[in-house]
């Protein structure tokens, strides 16, 4: 599915694994149609997957270091007019197997499962698939269809990332919700104080108060 945040989740997962878990991590940009990893990590696009798949370019030479320690990227490579033809699942699976020797974690950013067939072809060759769903936007039927396509035997999908939660379900943990509640309580307290004040003035007008004769008399004189 388009623009759910797949590449963003993939990049953040890579950063988290490298920085917080100390895992030597490699991200492969296998979305040859709408590649983003070179933009996210500010790297040159060329000498990546396209060249590896098309020209037998050495994967070791294609590895690019990012500004984050322990996090490397193989970018998508130069533009290719026929990404479907170029997408060689066996070659990618071999590349991943070879890279397992050097890395603790290999993340692959892929094209959307609908309508592109790449993820469906790639899924059986990998250890697992993470599905990214945009909360409040992605239709249930599309998610079910994607699961059918990618994981017909229900043994590939490791989990689902529900992106865009804050904008969709603010009641659980959005600070704006609490901010609103806080303001409401404040204004309620303000209203209550004004009401008390009004009641106090009314009492002064209509009741005689032995402790504040002066005030009462002033009230009566008005």
If the CB atoms of residues 36 and 137 are measured against Mg ion, the closer one turns out to be 36
Closest CA to 109 of 100, 94, 90, 96: 96
Q: Contact between 160 and ligand ATP (CB under 6 A)?
A: no
Is 163 one of the binding residues for ligand ATP (CB under 6 A)?
A: yes
Site for ligand ATP in 96-125 (CB under 6 A): 112
Least separation in angstroms between residue 132's CB and ligand ATP is 6
Query: What share of residues in the chain are helix, strand, coil (percent, to 5)?
Result: 50, 15, 35
In the complex, least distance from residue 49 CB atom to ligand ATP, rounded to whole angstroms: 15
Residue 50 sits in the site that holds Mg ion (CB under 5 A): no
Q: Is 7 in the site for Mg ion (CB under 5 A)?
A: yes
User: Residue 98 in contact with residue 66, Cβ under 8 Å?
Assistant: no
Residues 165-194 that bind ligand ATP (CB under 6 A): none
Which candidate, 217, 221, 11, places its Cα nearest to that of 108? 11
Q: Kindly state the smallest distance separating residue 56's Cβ from ligand ATP, in Å.
A: 27
Q: Alpha carbon of 103 to those of 27, 41, 65, 78, 93: distances in Å?
A: 10, 19, 13, 24, 15
User: Is the peptide bond preceding residue 115 cis, with omega within 30 degrees of 0?
Assistant: yes
Site for ligand ATP in 24-53 (CB under 6 A): 31, 34, 36
Binding site for Mg ion (CB under 5 A): 6-7, 36
């Amino acid at each position: 599915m388009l623009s759910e945040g797949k590449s963003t989740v993939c990049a953040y997962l890579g950063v988290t694994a490298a920085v917080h878990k100390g895992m030597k991590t490699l991200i492969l940009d296998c979305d040859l149609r709408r590649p983003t990893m070179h933009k996210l990590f500010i790297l040159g696009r060329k000498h990546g997957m396209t060249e590896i798949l098309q020209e037998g370019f050495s994967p070791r030479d294609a590895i690019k270091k990012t500004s984050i320690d322990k996090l490397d990227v193989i970018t998508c490579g130069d533009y290719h007019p026929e990404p479907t033809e170029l997408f060689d699942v066996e070659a990618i699976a071999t590349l991943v197997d070879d890279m397992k020797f050097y890395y603790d974690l290999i993340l692959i950013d892929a094209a959307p499962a609908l309508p592109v067939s790449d993820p469906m072809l790639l899924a059986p060759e990998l250890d697992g698939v993470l599905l990214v769903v945009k909360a409040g936007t992605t239709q249930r039927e599309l998610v079910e269809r994607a699961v059918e396509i990618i994981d017909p035997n229900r043994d590939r999908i490791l989990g689902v990332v529900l992106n865009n939660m804050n904008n969709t379900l603010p009641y659980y943990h959005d600070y704006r919700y609490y901010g609103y509640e806080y303001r409401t309580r404040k204004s309620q307290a303000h209203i209550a104080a004004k009401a008390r004040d009004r009641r106090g003035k009314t009492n002064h007008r209509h009741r005689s108060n032995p402790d504040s004769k002066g005030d009462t008399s002033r009230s009566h004189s008005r």
